[in-house]
Structure formats: C-alpha cells, structure tokens
C-alpha cells in the first residue's frame, strides 16, 4: 500500500516531470546498461517511468552487494543534493527514465511547494524502506529475505494474483540481493517451486504467487 501511495503522489506531480527543457531529459536504457558508477560526481536525480533499476555497492574488499531496486514511480540518485554517488545504478530491465539535473531539482523544490512536499515525503518513505531492508538483513533468515526480494521484484508484497517478474534475473543476482550464496538461493527456489509459491524455468523467467507472502508472516510469528 505504501508503494502504491508513493506512486500516486509522484504521478500527481507528473506535469512537472516532463523530461523536457534545460534541466530535464528522457533516457531509454537496455537491460544491463549503466546509469552511473559508484564514486562519480552526482549531478542529477532520476525518476523511473518504466522498468526496474538495480543499485549496487562495491566495498574495498571487492565484494559487491545489491542494496536497492527501483521500480516505475520511484526516484534514485537522490544523493545528488549532498554527495557523490554512493553506489552504481544499472538497468535490470529495459528502462525509461527522466533525468533531472541537481540545479533543476533545487528549482522545483524552491518554487513548487506541492512537489517539494511530495519529494520530502518520498525521501522519508524510502529511508524507512531502507531501514526495513537493513533489519531484514540483520534479523531474518536467508529464505525469508529471498521471499521478500521476489515479492518486491514482482511488486506483489501487499497482495494481487500471481505475477511475473519483468526481468530475467539469475540466481547470482538474487544471491547478491539477499546476502547469501547462489547454492542456498537455488535450494530455496526449488523449495518455493515445490510448494507452488513460484514458477520458474532455466531461462530465468520467474512468476511469483501471493502465497509466498505467508513465508514472511511465518517469520514474524516466530519472533
């Protein structure tokens, strides 16, 4: 529900996110294409109009982790207001984006009160989501984290019928998102499939059923 509300809030401000003018532009990306790299100067924020974007971070040891997924109706790169890029953003699927320069974003925040309120609310909600993911990583089992990741990718965390994940995502990427090994992801995926919670094939096509949500409920009841 929170994600749907967030999308509605942003859609209400769509007249300001046109992708046209000196401060805004539209981008079309193929799956796997880079948006920006970790450590680069941050000079713009991005709004996803279609597709899924992956945010990943590489630590000094060289290990990489997926720390965020952004769907249509969400922003990313918001650190452009204060710092350099903290992670790398790339298209997980074919994507349509609107790029707004930092100076253009600041003008919107200063001169469009409704947009400023929506954007501030979005940032607070995104911060809460990030905190929830951190708690998920620290407290919940790898099986539960995988269930949540699949539900989020299919945008079915809060209900709905069986839905396909709109990208072919291999188990290595899922392991990076969950913070476990590929072998354990394979074990849990086979378990979910046997229990009728998901459908998937060797090509990487995955459909998620709402019943997978019960895995999260079972974890909460055990706390």
Reported as type and span, the H/E element at residue 120 is helix 113-139
Tell whether the model's pLDDT for residue 209 goes beyond 70.
Answer: yes
pLDDT at 137 exceeding the cut of 90: no
The mean pLDDT value for 8-14 works out to 55
Domain end, chosen from 137, 163, 181, is at 137
Which stretch, 127-131, 171-175, 180-184, has highest mean pLDDT? 180-184
Q: For a pLDDT cut of 70, what percent of the chain falls above it?
A: 87
Indicate if 162 and 61 belong to the same structural domain: no
- Does residue 163 contact residue 156 with C-beta atoms inside 8 Å? yes
Q: What is the pLDDT of residue 13?
A: 56
Same structural domain for residues 104 and 123?
A: yes
Record the pTM: 0.78
Angle at 170 between CA 168 and CA 176, to 5 degrees: 125
Q: What is the pLDDT of residue 1?
A: 44
Summarize the confidence of residues 106-129 as an average pLDDT.
91
DSSP letter string over 64-116?
Answer: EEEEEEE-TT-EE-GGGGTSS-SSEEEESS-EEEEEEEHHHHHHHHHH-HHHH
Token pair in block for residue 102? 């930092």
Reported as a single tens digit per residue, the pLDDT across 33-53 is: 999 999 999 999 999 999 889
Considering the domain architecture, whether residues 131 and 148 belong to the same structural domain is answered as no
Whether the CB-CB separation of 70 and 53 falls below 8 Å is answered with yes
Q: DSSP of 15-56, one letter per residue?
A: TT--S-SSSEEEEEE-TT-EEE-TTS---EEEEEEES-EEEE
SS3 for 164?
Answer: strand
Same-domain check for residues 45 and 127: yes
More confident residue, 222 or 164: 164
Residue 191 has pLDDT above 50, yes or no: yes
Number of domains in the chain: 2
Average pLDDT of the chain, as a whole number: 84
Domain boundary among 137, 159, 180: 137
Return the pLDDT at 221.
55
């Amino acid at each position: 529900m929170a994600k749907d509300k967030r999308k509605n809030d942003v859609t209400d401000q769509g007249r300001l996110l046109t992708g046209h003018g000196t401060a805004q532009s539209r981008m079309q990306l193929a799956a796997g294409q880079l948006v920006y790299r970790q450590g680069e100067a941050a000079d713009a924020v991005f709004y996803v109009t279609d597709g899924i974007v992956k945010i990943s971070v590489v630590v000094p040891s060289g290990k990489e982790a997926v720390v965020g997924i952004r769907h249509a109706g969400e922003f990313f790169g918001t650190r452009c207001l204060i710092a350099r890029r903290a992670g790398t953003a790339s298209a997980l699927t074919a994507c349509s984006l609107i790029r707004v320069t930092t100076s253009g974003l600041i003008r919107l925040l200063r001169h469009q009160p409704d947009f400023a309120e929506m954007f501030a609310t979005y940032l607070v909600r995104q911060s809460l989501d990030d905190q929830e993911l951190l708690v998920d990583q620290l407290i919940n089992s790898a099986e539960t984290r995988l269930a949540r990741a699949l539900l989020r990718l299919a945008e079915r965390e809060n209900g709905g019928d069986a839905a396909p994940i709109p990208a072919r995502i291999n188990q290595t990427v899922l392991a990076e998102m969950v913070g476990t090994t590929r072998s354990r992801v394979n074990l849990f995926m086979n378990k979910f499939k046997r229990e009728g919670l998901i459908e998937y094939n060797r090509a990487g096509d995955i459909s998620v059923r709402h019943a997978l949500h019960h895995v999260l409920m079972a974890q909460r009841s055990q706390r």
